[in-house]
Amino acid sequence: MFASAMEEKAAFSIIDEMVQEQIYAVTLPAANLCLQGRDDKKNVRRGTTRVMSFLEKEAVIAVGSDNVNDPFHPFGDGDMLLTALIAAYANHLTSQKDISRLFQMITTKPAEIFGQTNHIQEGEKADFVLIEGKGETELLSVQPGGRKVYRNGRWISERQETVSVWKKGNIYA
Distance CA 87, CA 69 (A): 18
Res 34: pLDDT? 85
Q: Determine contact, residues 106/87, Cβ cutoff 8 Å.
A: no
Q: Report the SS3 class of residue 109.
A: helix
Predicted confidence (pLDDT) per residue in 109-119, tens digit: 999 999 887 67
Strands 61-63 and 25-27: parallel
pLDDT at 167 over 70: no
Question: pLDDT grade, residue 166 (50/70/90)?
Answer: low
Predicted confidence (pLDDT) per residue in 118-134, tens digit: 677 788 888 888 998 99
Distance CA 8, CA 56 (A): 12
Q: Which of 95, 112, 102 is nearest to 54 (CA)?
A: 102
Predicted confidence (pLDDT) per residue in 28-87, tens digit: 999 888 888 888 898 888 788 899 999 999 999 999 988 888 887 788 888 899 999 999
Percent of the chain as helix, strand, coil, to the nearest 5: 40, 15, 45
Distance CA 24, CA 13 (A): 15
Res 170: pLDDT? 56
Res 164: pLDDT? 57
The sign of the CA dihedral 95, 133, 54, 92 is: positive
Q: What are phi and psi of 73, to 5 degrees?
A: -155, 85
Res 107: pLDDT? 92
Estimate to the nearest angstrom the gap between the alpha carbon of 11 and the chain centroid: 21
Report, as an integer, the average pLDDT of 12-37. Answer: 92
Q: Determine contact, residues 75/38, Cβ cutoff 8 Å.
A: no
Res 118: pLDDT? 63
Predicted confidence (pLDDT) per residue in 83-109, tens digit: 999 999 999 999 999 999 999 999 999
Estimate to the nearest angstrom the gap between the alpha carbon of 41 and the chain centroid: 28
pLDDT at 171 over 70: no
User: 10 Å Cβ neighbour count for 11?
Assistant: 18
